Amino acid sequence: MRVQPVRRPLRVLLAGLTAAAVVALTPSASSALPTADFTISAPTAAPGAPVTFRFTGTCDLPPCSVVWTWFQDGGSHLGTRMGVGEQISYAFPRSGLYAVVARITNSTPTHGSAKATHDLLVGDTMQEDAPAVRLGGWQRVATAGASQGGQHVGTGSASLRFTGGRLDYVARTGPARGIARLIVDGRRVGTVDLYSATAGVRSRSFTGLGAGSHLVRLVSTGAHNPSSTGDAISLDELVVGGTLHVDDNSLSIRYAGWSGLASTGADGGGERVSASPGARTQMSFSGSTVTWETAMGPDEGIATVIVDGVTIATVDNYSAVTTPKFLRIFTSLGTGSHVLQVVVTGQHRAASTGSRVVVDAFLS
Q: What is the pLDDT of residues 51-62, one digit of tens each?
A: 999 999 998 888
Q: Which tens digit of pLDDT belongs to each residue from 169-179?
A: 888 899 999 99
The three-state secondary structure class of 79 is coil
Q: How far apart are CA 44 and CA 241, in angstroms?
A: 8
Mean pLDDT throughout 16-41? 58
Strand partners, 314: 304
The pLDDT tens digits of the residues spanning 293-342 come to 888 899 999 999 999 999 998 999 998 888 888 888 887 788 778 889 99
∠ Cα 263 171 348 (to 5°): 55
**Kind of pairing, strands 233-235 and 150-163?**
antiparallel
DSSP string, 63-101: -EEEEEEEE-TTS-TT-EEEEESSEEEEE-SSSEEEEEE
Q: Is the pLDDT of residue 251 over 50?
A: yes
Which residues on adjacent β-strands are paired with residue 189?
none
SS3 160: strand
pLDDT tops 90 at residue 355: yes
Q: Please report, for the chain, how many H helices and E strands are present, in that order.
A: 0, 31
What are the pLDDT digits (tens) for 104-149? 998 877 778 999 988 776 765 555 555 556 656 678 888 877 766 7
d(CA 174, CA 320): 12
Residue 81, pLDDT > 90, answer yes
Q: C-alpha distances in angstroms, 277 versus 244, 274, 345, 364? A: 29, 9, 5, 26
